[in-house]
Chains A and B, each alone.
Chain A
Amino acid sequence: MSRDNYEVIIGLEVHAELSTKTKIFCSCPTEFGAAPNTHVCPICMAMPGTLPVLNEKVVEYAVKAGLATNCEISRDSKNDRKNYFYPDLPKAYQISQFDKPLCEHGYVEIDTDEGKKKIRLTRIHIEEDAGKLNHDDFGGGSLVDLNRAGVPLIEIVSEPDIRSSEEAEKYLRKLKSILEYIEVSDCKMQEGSLRADVNVSVRKKGDTKLGTRTEMKNMNSFKSITRAIEYEVDRQIDVLEDGGIIEQETLRWDDVSGKTFPMRDKEDAQDYRYFPDPDLVAIKLSEEYIENIKKSLPELPESRKQRYLEEYKLSEKDANIITSSKYLSDLFEGAIKICNNPKAVNNWIISDISRILNETEMEPIEIPFDSKQLAKLVMLIDKGTISSSIAKKVLVEMFEHPRDPEDIIDEKGWVQISDEGAIKDVVLKVLEANPQSVADYKGGKDKALGYLVGQAMKETRGKANPQMLNKMFLEELKK
């Protein structure tokens, strides 16, 4: 039997760090990248006697996420303790939510080849992040950094509605863009502020019972998630085809070998002994509170996309790419407001900018220039100050050493030569140096013109205005 006889079932548990200024239960900053154990206090270090105080912003952000993903918001919710021992968990319990999450029964829509598909959300709950263990830098031991301990997270749990790695990626990208749009998480995957636990199982087509699932923890790139799913699906099918059974276990995906490995033995099956945290009072939300948050929600990607299709006549594909990220979408809107050339801005984002992001594995949020600078680049071409080939070089510069495009052009001397006299000098020089090409052209070989223009461009290091060059060559050759 082949892979085609199996159906793949995927569910995702996505953890997103909320971009609140302070931690969930104390007033320490949440900022990434500080020196170890500098963003800590007795509360997040779990000193004896300390108590948590719930950061109201965390509730607000989670409710926003719930509303943006079509969830029902619970009016009566609470915090629970999830008990386990690990050095990065200073209280030996994580404050999370167990049976009364803030948000439930939502969905996210993705575009598939068969049209729109709803991926249902089981729940969204709030919880605190753990600290971090540094194993590598120090001989013979691990050191605990508690800066991240207590950073607020939402966990978004999907139903097992995803049927392929492509769908998983689409779902994740959609979720990421929604969280970015409502500005509750910066979703920086490399910094771990968006990560997913992936549950995968397979079953023979037509079976109604779900197969045994395995879980891959803490994945933080689209590429590894799709690769891991592909690998795990193949592995499970191989096991079943060989007459084996799938063990329910937690796996670790290794990006280097491209394989999954069991993470802990089954004996250690954890009993988290959840119970309501007696240090925190129930979370009661009024209708008015929820209504106010609903009103404050910004335009979501789906609606922006529709607008781009209608107002700017973008293709469905382009509109999808641009609205997939709030940062790209903001870049687009910001730039066209200034340069009034949606088609050109669209082209820059879809082709060159996307390519550079891909090559450098950068997230849109990391683009080092702003919409004003992109608009300037477009206007410089429109005005004929630079050619589009020079513009490509300017863009690379804007990524590498971000500054205004005009400054780059000035510094590099890349201003387009549009002076008739200067162009004529170059044309005459090239004609004189290439008698054979001139003869070829006159003998009917039109291609020779292209060669001559190319030579002239070379001579001017790409700065000559190509339209003027063309025109002038034709005039001279007619003589």
Chain B
Amino acid sequence: MDITELTVHELQEKLKNKELTIKEITEAYINRINEKEKDVQAFVTELTDEAKKSAEEIQSKVEKGEITGEFAGIPIGIKDNICTKGIKTTCSSRMLENFVSPYDATVMEKINSENMIDLGKLNMDEFAMGGSTEYSYFHPTRNPWNLNKVPGGSSGGSAAAVASNMVPWALGSDTGGSIREPASFCGVVGLKPTYGLVSRYGLVAFASSLDQIGPITKDVQDAAMLLNIIAGHDKKDTTSSDRPKVDYTKALKNDVKGLKIGVPKEFFGEGINEEVKEQLQKAIETYKELGAEVEEFSLDIAQYALATYYIIACAEASSNLGRFDGIRYTYRTKEFKSLKEIYKKSRSEGFGPEVKRRIILGTYVLSSGYYDAYYKKAQQVRTLVMNEFNKGFEKYDVILTPTSPTVAFDIGSKSNNPLEMYLADICTVSVNIAGLPGISIPCGVDKEGMPVGMQLIGNKFSEETILNAAYTFEQKIKFRENHKPEFKK
């Protein structure tokens, strides 16, 4: 038995039946990291030594009966923009290369209170800006299915670490597709929760009105379990919802009979790769076989979502990233003659090209004289996007689209063409714009064996619906049993 092949719910079974110990599990993952990390490079900070120690402590406490809990001793990986007390949180940026957070993000408090074991901080595009993890200051992460391809981004480290079995599951963050796109590229499950379901406190902000933390897992049941842990109201985040807690695993009914699925034709048009379309068509047929009612419809406004997204996200980012100014905890330039020079040089040297590009864009759209034409207009379009989705959800329970217009692309093929890179977000951004939940699950592979992701979008706070739809599909096609990453070189 390869322990690292197991899902978390399988690990829980084995722990419960005493077929495995916490120490054995952690050691298996550490060995796996030692074996695969040199090829995949998913981590920014490995915590294998610390993990070994915690595994021993937690196991001994469990044996003594001091702690109980179904997640005690389960390892996890954390995207490096989620603050972890006493551990570096770099956002894969030179700017925060040596930043050690003095506090834990709310999600980390929840993870820690479950006595889970943090295996490390995972690589990402700098400050979560990008779709390939090539914009990490430290190193690009590689796709476990083909090491010459990108893992997607910005949560590329999280998706690649899960896909390569270096962590059983991971936390990512999603502002315009940063959980779903890498999940799609790496053949794993990624859930972007409804805006407000998971506290953002301690997530280093990229675009505050769009950011959400979510799970990246091997299967849908694990995604539901991790969502159970991290979801819930937080008084430290006033944008978090105070809805009562739900057990998402209870929603997994393996039944979609009568489920109404809408397929927006705009997401299957120009720019969507033919092989991706083909796999999605098959998925649609599968849903029909399973008894769902699938119907094509028009989500016209979606064509404006990308422009809207880049205006709003960049505007917020330009303000959110102002605090990285060379004064306190950030990178500071070595030589300067004035305050202005500290700012200019620290920020020029500390930020990478994509971050600078977005700060400049965002500063521009908020500038006096341009605000109305860009930012204000984008907010108006945002309302229209929400309205159009609302209309869609009057008719359908779930909206089905590809997660990304393509499968994982070659490393270096888009990193010098920002616009093309932005187009990779075309299927995912409208979900953030409208604040909806979206899940990406693998639905097949292309001719080269690269995974294709399917995105299921739900109405606000209808995570249960999309999780059940995803679960039912997953049980039917059994992707993980038929396809495994091959670490092709």
Q: Is the CB of B319 within 8 A of A83?
A: yes
Enumerate chain B residues within 8 angstroms of A81, measured Cβ to Cβ: 319
Of A54, A92, A274, A280, which one neighbours B323 at CB under 8 angstroms? Answer: A92
The answer, among B83, B89, B209, B323, for a CB contact under 8 Å with A91, is: B323
B residues near A281, Cβ cutoff 8 Å: 238-239
CB of B1 closer than 8 Å to a CB of A: no
Out of B103, B204, B316, B367, name the residue touching A42 (CB < 8 Å): B103
Say whether A49 contacts B238, CB under 8 Å: no
Interface flags, A31-61, vs B, CB<8A=1, else 0: 0000000000010011111111110000000
B197 → chain A closest CB, angstroms: 15
Q: Give the residues in chain B near A277, CB-CB below 8 Å.
A: 208
The one of B81, B101, B316, B371 in contact with A47, judged by C-beta atoms closer than 8 angstroms, is B101
Any chain A CB within 8 A of the CB of B105? yes
**Min CB–CB distance B261 → chain A (angstroms):** 32
Interface size on A, as a range, is 20 to 34
Known: A87-B339, A279-B208. A51 touches B237 (CB 8 A): yes
How does the 8 Å CB contact mask read for A145-180 relative to B, with 1 for contact and 0 for none? 000000000000000000000000000000000000
Query: Given known contacts A91-B323, A278-B209, is B236 in contact with A53 (CB within 8 Å)?
Result: yes
Listed residue (A45, A81, A93, A275) with the most chain B CB atoms within 10 angstroms of its CB: A275
The reply on B328 being an interface residue by CB < 8 A is yes
Please, how many angstroms separate the alpha-carbon atoms of A47 and B328 in the complex? Answer: 9
Chain B residues within an 8 Å CB radius of A87 = 325, 327, 339
Q: Contact check, A51 vs B201: say whether CB atoms are below 8 A apart.
A: yes
Q: Return the contact of A48 from the options B204, B208, B366, B367 (Cβ within 8 A).
A: B204
Instruction: Check if B201 sits within 8 Å of A49, measured CB to CB.
Output: yes
Choose from A47, A92, A271 the contact partner of B367 (Cβ within 8 Å).
A271
Does A93 lie within 8 Å of B319, measured CB to CB? yes
B322 touches A93 (CB 8 A): yes
What interface size band does chain B fall in?
Answer: 35 or more
Find the B residue at minimum CB distance from A142.
B339
- For B316, the chain A residues whose CB sits under 8 A away are 275, 278
Question: 1/0 per position for A402-434, CB-CB distance to B under 8 A?
Answer: 000000000000000000000000000000000
Cβ of B105 and Cβ of A279 under 8 Å apart? no
Residues from chain A with Cβ under 8 Å of B324 in the complex? 48
Whether the pair B208, A49 counts as a contact (CB closer than 8 A) is no
Q: B188 near A: Cβ within 8 Å?
A: no
Q: A87-B327, A271-B368, A275-B371 are in contact. Are A54 and B101 (CB under 8 A)?
A: no
Task: Determine whether the beta carbon of B102 is less than 8 Å from that of A47.
Answer: yes
* Chain B residues whose CB sits within 8 angstroms of the CB of A51 once the complex forms: 200-201, 236-239
Q: Which residues of B contact A54 (CB under 8 A)?
A: 238
Distance in angstroms from A340 CB to nearest chain B CB is 52
Does B99 contact A48, Cβ atoms closer than 8 Å?
yes
A47 touches B209 (CB 8 A): no
Q: How long is the Cα–Cα vector from A53 to B238 in the complex, in angstroms?
A: 6
Q: Please encode chain A, from 295 to 308, with 1 for each CB lying within 8 Å of some chain B CB and 0 for all others.
A: 00000000000000
User: Which B residues between 78 and 107 are near A, CB-CB below 8 angstroms?
Assistant: 81-83, 89, 91, 96, 99, 101-103, 105
The answer to whether A275 and B238 have CB atoms under 8 Å apart is: no
Query: Is B294 located at the chain interface by the 8 A CB criterion?
Result: no
When distances are taken between beta carbons in the complex, the residues of chain A under 8 Å from B236 are 51, 53
Complex alpha-carbon distance, A53 and B236, angstroms: 6
**CB contact between A49 and one of B202, B235, B328, B368 (< 8 Å): that residue:** B202
Residues in chain A near residue B368, CB distance under 8 A: 271, 273
* CB of A312 within 8 Å of the partner chain: no
Chain A, interface SS category: loop
How far apart sit A84 and B315, CA to CA, in the bound complex (Å)? 14
Please tell me if the beta carbons of A48 and B238 are within 8 angstroms of each other in the complex.
no
Is B323 a contact of A48 with CB atoms below 8 Å?
yes
B455 at the interface (CB under 8 A from A): no
B41 CB–A CB distance under 8 Å: no
Contact A83 B96 (CB under 8 A): no
Closest chain-B Cβ to A282's Cβ sits at a distance in Å of: 10
Contact with A along B149-193 (1 / 0, CB 8 A): 000000000000000000000000000000000000000000000
A261 within 8 Å of B (CB atoms): no
Contact of B83 among A46, A49, A273, A279 (CB under 8 A): A49
A85 CB–B CB distance under 8 Å: yes
Known: A83-B322, A91-B323. A49 touches B204 (CB 8 A): yes
CB pair B323–A90 under 8 Å, yes or no, is: yes
CB distance from B35 to the nearest CB of A (A): 33
With both chains docked as a complex, state the minimum distance between the C-beta of B45 and any C-beta of chain A, in angstroms.
15
Bound-complex Cα distance A48 to B202 (A): 7
Q: Is the CB of A273 within 8 A of B103?
A: no
Q: Is the CB of B141 closer than 8 A to any CB of chain A?
A: no
Contact check: which of B103, B205, B375 meets A275 at CB < 8 Å? B375
Chain B contacts for A280, CB-based, 8 A: 238-239
> In the complex, what residue of chain A is closest to B202 when comparing beta carbons?
A49
Q: Are B103 and A279 in contact (CB under 8 A)?
A: no
Residues of B within 8 A of A45 (CB): 328
Within the assembled complex, what's the spacing in Å between the Cα atoms of A93 and B317?
12
Complex Cα spacing A271 to B318, Å:
13
A279 near B239 with CB under 8 A, answer yes
Contact status B103-A47, CB under 8 Å: yes
**Inter-subunit contact A46/B103 (CB<8 Å):** no
Q: How far is the CB of B230 from chain A (nearest CB, A)?
A: 15
Q: A271-B367, A279-B208 are in contact. Are A48 and B101 (CB under 8 A)?
A: yes
Of B96, B208, B235, B371, the residue contacting A53 (CB under 8 A) is: B235
Digit string of B374-416 for contact with A (CB within 8 Å is 1, else 0)?
0100000000000000000000000000000000000000000
Q: How far is the CB of B80 from chain A (nearest CB, A)?
A: 11
**Chain A residue nearest in CB terms to B237:** A51
When distances are taken between beta carbons in the complex, the residues of chain A under 8 Å from B363 are 273
CB of A144 within 8 A of chain B?
yes
Which A297-333 residues have a C-beta within 8 angstroms of B? Answer: none
- Verify B375–A50 contact, CB threshold 8 A: no
A383 to chain B, nearest CB (A): 59
A residues less than 8 Å from B238 (CB atoms): 51-54, 279-281
Name B96's contact: one of A42, A48, A144, A274 (CB within 8 Å): A48
Q: Tell whether A273 pairs with B237 under 8 Å between CB atoms, given A47-B329, A49-B83.
A: no
Chain A residues near B280: list those with CB within 8 A. Answer: none
CA distance A75 to B57 in the complex (A): 54
* Pick from A49, A93, A274, A275: contact of B101, CB under 8 Å: A49
A92 to B320, CA, bound (A): 8
> In the bound complex, how far is the Cα of B342 from the Cα of A144, in angstroms?
15
- CA–CA, A271 to B105, complex, Å? 33
Contact A85–B343 (Cβ < 8 Å) = yes
A76 to chain B, nearest CB (A): 16
Decide: A49 near B102, CB < 8 A? Known: A91-B323, A273-B367: no
Q: Are A275 and B366 in contact (CB under 8 A)?
A: yes
Q: Does B198 contact A (CB under 8 A)?
A: no
Which residues does chain A contribute within 8 Å of B427, judged by CB atoms?
none
| Inter-chain contacts of A90 with B (CB < 8 A) | 323, 327-328
Which residues of chain B from 213 to 258 have a CB within 8 Å of any chain A CB? 235-239
Establish whether residues B99 and A42, one from each chain, have CB atoms under 8 Å apart when the complex forms.
no
A123 to chain B, nearest CB (A): 19
CB-nearest residue of chain A relative to B234?
A: A51
26 A-B residue pairs with Cβ-Cβ distance under 8 Å, sorted by A, are A47-B101, A47-B102, A47-B103, A48-B323, A48-B329, A49-B83, A49-B200, A49-B202, A49-B203, A49-B205, A51-B201, A51-B236, A53-B236, A83-B318, A83-B319, A87-B325, A87-B327, A90-B323, A273-B318, A273-B367, A273-B368, A275-B366, A275-B371, A278-B208, A278-B209, A279-B239
> Beyond A47-B103, A83-B322, A273-B319: 9 further Cβ-contacts under 8 Å?
A42-B103, A48-B323, A51-B239, A87-B327, A92-B325, A273-B371, A275-B316, A278-B207, A281-B239
Ranked nearest first, the 3 interchain pairs of A and B with the lowest CB-CB distance are A92-B322, A278-B209, A273-B366
